[in-house]
Structure 1
């Protein structure tokens, strides 16, 4: 995997790991992801982020139930350990969560149901502590396997990271601006978007996150998969957008890691220069 370095100022250096999972091969995918995490940390990343269902592959629907684990399982524990060992924040992309296992464990995170599967993002601090759990709120429609197999999440948490208030949304969530307004009202100024966005909807993939950034005068950083997963080609193009909606770091559809230096002062200066949010009428 190559690395694409683009400086966007001082602040939080984010590594967007554009990863191509081997469908259903969780053990290999996790091993490779942990290697990319270490490489990104060595390159100076403060936060390392992975795509949607990088562990199993989004389109490997037949593997979801077999490969699911609770929040206290060994897969996420490995990323907690890696965060601590490498002294970085980690967004463990999303993984398939077994809600029954989580509910039955000592993990103190409410579940939206006592059983079923969720598409779950977990953020770990450099201490290896679980700081945020976000379960995909909008499940893909059109009679998709996702809507049939998964339980939608209800919690929309945030966490403070290096001067930012960070939130997470997942892939299809990009089409629902009201979620991003909720995050804005919660103080979020950086939203990470792990995704498995496929061809041919390239223009949607470029327009929607840029629009969410413009609407909320916030950073939005997308982390997409790459390659072919379950017979479906992913568009890649992981990108960090600044509060003007301008791409400050991006790439093509190949496996790579994109680095961007994000500055919380940039959000404050843009909102002061163009205070459109003060004109909202609720």
Structure 2
């Protein structure tokens, strides 16, 4: 599978400008790269996140869904739609929409782990479901930004036998080393390809660190960026992952019966 990831400087609280830019970039990518799948960053409609996010969030995701559906159908490309701020029944979500080559919505994921240091947990409603779906018959998974820090959550995706993990993010400085290390660790320990797609630029006090990357199942970079607007493209050889799993069969050697959380003397261990 050939994947292109968009690392871009998002216009703060300006969905129209961001939509126009994404439409242009997708067209450019199709002409230059002809990928199977295009991946967007987190909160691409408003950036992460304006104080009046609830007033400007996409109602039921209608605008974002229309754009992604049209682009995927027009260009006959799968789109992993990063995330957008959406509102439904008065609840705010950090939502991701996935589209197939025919412009059909095939999966929706709401960010599960909300970043409490920025009070995301006080403003947004957390999702409740694992993000697993298929692209061109390949089982893949999605986790959003802060989700990456929760090793149990990513392992659940791996246990669903996904081949590729997509991680759209709005990851800021000064934690770029965390971003790079965690992406590589999740690839190595779960023996999956990982596509980490970050943004650049600034929103309020946050300065996003870029460094988007496409990793193979050994954690080696197939394509990587620094802190400029760019398109990353890489061809993923899924047979490579099968070879790695044969050489080091981590999942066969797991001792899952020992991995239960137990309580003793009112303490968990």
Q: Same fold (TM over 0.5)?
A: yes
| Greater Cα radius of gyration, structure 1 or 2 | 2
Q: How does 1:47-62 map to 2 (within 5 A)?
A: 47-62=37-52
Runs of 4+ in 1 over 4 A off after TM superposition: none
1:54-97 deviation line (CA, Å, top 9, x unaligned): 110113232343233213x1332111011000010011210011
Which sections of structure 1, spanning at least 5 residues, go unmatched?
A: 1-11, 101-114
Matched, 1:121 2:96: yes
Structure 2 partner of 1:70: 60
Deviation at 1:163, TM superposition (A): 5.0
RMSD: 1.3
Structure 1 partner of 2:166: 192
Deviation at 1:47, TM superposition (A): 0.6
Pairs aligned (count): 255
Matched, 1:147 2:121: yes
**Stretch of structure 1 that moved more, 118-127 or 151-160:** 151-160
Structure 2 partner of 1:232: 206
Structure 1 partner of 2:265: none
Structure 2 partner of 1:92: 81
Deviation at 1:183, TM superposition (A): 0.7
* TM-score normalized by the length of structure 1: 0.87
Structure 1 partner of 2:70: 81
Deviation at 1:34, TM superposition (A): 1.3
The partner residue of 1:254 within 228, 244, 248 is: 228
* TM-score normalized by the length of structure 2: 0.91
Matched, 1:206 2:175: no
Deviation at 1:276, TM superposition (A): 1.8
Q: Distance in 2 between matches of 1:269 and 1:216?
A: 14
Which sections of structure 2, spanning at least 5 residues, go unmatched?
A: 257-269
The higher relative CO (CA closer than 8 Å, separation ≥ 6) is in 1
